[in-house]
Structure 1
């Protein structure tokens, strides 16, 4: 829509405002606010309006997102403006509003974002910076973005965020990383702290309106974690129930995660496949199903430590525990293949184009996978890994148990009942199904927006 046009009744104007307040707004933004019957926003943003502003002011309640439909409906027929921080389309309220009224029902008038200001002050190219928001999100998600040499800008939840970031960096082996806090960007109270490492970070008071800049540096003795699947086994807490590194890399390759997709990791063990699926892209979601409560708790710890605290853990046996889950885009079965109804349930819940990957080391489950492969096609492979090990005074190869892997993509338009005639009445063995306790949120639930 035309950013300079007068407000149109029935269209919600979304105006970005910075720490410079009313004085920093464009003429179009001032006109949009001045022509509104009601302005909705956070208390901090509403306080930036001039005293002579005549329209009704309505503060967002908390939690914000569930309140949006009701507020829009309550003011139907009035000229509505929404006041937001910075660029409303960047981790802001514009996304939520677009989902509610449709993109054609919005006119967005952005202000420079805090990220743009921060890059300008630091001399960092905007396109080279990774942005992580901790507004309404756990600090643990920052861990997924920690790589040697990377520059991060962290959108803070408040004055406590810089200290939380420093503590996380120390805990994850990135204590040498250099940090700066940029406060009240664009306003009269703008201030940028002197750089200090996370190890030396002072406990000084900072403004609640801040952005944390991090230049990542890994400690020499810290475990190196790459950006692709196949993290070292030592990255995980486990009791031996772990898809090992080389097999895990092949498994994630077969699952082929894409942005926004949801994985079921059934018989999750230590949760390594689900964790690395979610690390593939920030919008990827996963549900780890594990029947052993101790292992389920371990999965949650692994997820938090490796930067994906949003991994949902379900404690319970499959296939019963799968009934209430949102439909997956891909399914990995790492245990319990011979459980009656498990493969059928997973296959039937997959949409067209969905992928199913199953691994096993037992002859009984291998025979079952061969039967399914014969019926539905896909790719059936055997993965063999050997490690060099001492043999007397020499070195030889120590062979790990071979893993049989079946990977298949469901055809579009596949009907239920495609599994008729395939049975899974073998007794369960090592492939027992785990399951568990709901934690975090499915990626199907959009995160709360900042205002």
Structure 2
């Protein structure tokens, strides 16, 4: 029988009397040099773990001799541990597990946050794809087991390079349970800037969603005139990626050819990101952020407060006919149509002022074709811009490119 025993951070003292007895009375004791030191008074045969592939072969051979074997590991053997590998190579009937507290459990306990709903990821000797996907999905809690190569600073830099929509606080927990334990909270930017600081190799990194709404004075002062970074906007919790991206917003504002003192409609405003960019460029204009969902109106209202854009009017649209109640616009941006694109264009044609401009953002070829046909049939001039962009992603000293979904921009005006 092979018994796999998890050791806690205080070593031998973390084991119950029963488990200590199992370890002391076994025929063969296997573990890392650090774990074996906890049992320096053990009188049987000891084997130091060095190479998992070779060690498992040795273990399988020893198990056939019907000897009592104990394998020492850290924490819970089945939590990103050796136990998973053993189950792949050895019949589960020949294995018994004795788990201990994991570093993840201790980390969440110290920062006083429930962890049952956290995304748990190990990048210890693994690639970063799962971590990047979790960031992109906007998980509220992400706990990361690091290694010597993927330091907390590198993880923070990866998050920042993705230009995501979630705002996080980052906890770094070092040497948990030891006298030199350290637990600190950083912003991602501050953590990434600690390039010369060396964290302990025994660390856990936890990303926790930050729900602060208002930008502080320093953050507000550092905002660009045009092209606010995506991660500054509040967005939909269940669809964190659903927002017009920064590079596309810049192109949209260019296609609208904005002027001072205009009335602008932003139809299908979503998070209000386009409306807010327009507002910051022209505080003498009035922008109607038109959205049909209550959740969207709530987010637009919060983002307006966040960016202090008081000339944006969130407008809850329950029926398309309500568009006739709004002041006639000089410019119209259509970012979403809810499947009623043609009906919206018909109303826009009636309400748009002379020399007005419509810009439409389209994600599908079908909607593009439908829009072009309508513009031709109604004698409108139009130009088409196809946007296909990729953003760089820094991974250690390497750079990868991640694509942004392609977008078509139609700019139209009457002949």
> Relative contact order: is structure 1 or structure 2 higher (C-alpha 8 Å, sep ≥ 6)?
1
TM value normalised by structure 2 = 0.50
Q: Which has the larger radius of gyration?
A: 2
TM-score where L is the length of structure 1: 0.46
The structure in which a higher percent of residues are helix is 2
